[in-house]
Amino acid sequence: MTGIFIKRIYDPYDEEDGYRVLIDRLWPRGIKKEDARLSAWEKEAAPSNELRKAFNHKPELFEEFREKYLAELRTQDDKIRKLDELARMSKKQSVTLLYAAKDPIHNHAKVLCEEIMRRDV
C-alpha cells in the first residue's frame, strides 16, 4: 500500500504504517523512544513554536492557524524540502504522519497531510 496517512502516536503500531514519521516539534508525553517505532522525527515539518503556542489547540483558532501554517509550509525552504521528500516517498510506500494532539480534526497533521498530497513531485 502506498500513500500518506495520519495517526496519533498513541495508537498501536501497525506494520502497514510503513515509514513512521513523528511530525511534532516536542516529544510526546508518555511515549518511550524505543516503543514509538519511528522511521524519523521531522521536527522541521512541525509548525513554528510561535504558531504552535498561538494556536494552543483551540478549535476556534484553527482556521487562522491553518492559513499561517500553510504559509510556513509554502515559504520556508527546510519545510518545502521535507514536504517534497515525504511526497516522493509516499508514491513508493506508505508514509504515516504521527502526532500527539488529542483533537483528530483540529491539528497540524491534517494540514501537513493535505499539503503533502497537493504537491506534484
Buried residues in 92-117 as b, exposed as e (16+ CB within 10 A): eebbbbbbbbeeeebbbbbbbbebbe
Over residues 37-53, the pLDDT tens digits come to: 999 999 989 999 999 99
Residue 120 has pLDDT above 90, yes or no: no
Q: What is the pLDDT of residues 52-107, one digit of tens each?
A: 999 999 999 999 999 999 999 999 998 999 999 999 999 999 999 999 999 999 99
Question: What nine digits make up the cell of 112?
Answer: 501537513
Closest CA to 115 of 94, 87, 95, 89: 87
- Phi, psi (deg, nearest 5) at residue 4: -115, 135
Q: Distance between CA atoms of 6 and 16, rounded to whole angstroms?
A: 12
Predicted confidence (pLDDT) per residue in 8-28, tens digit: 999 999 999 999 999 999 999
Q: What residue type is assigned to position 48 of the chain?
A: S
- What's the whole-model pTM score? 0.93
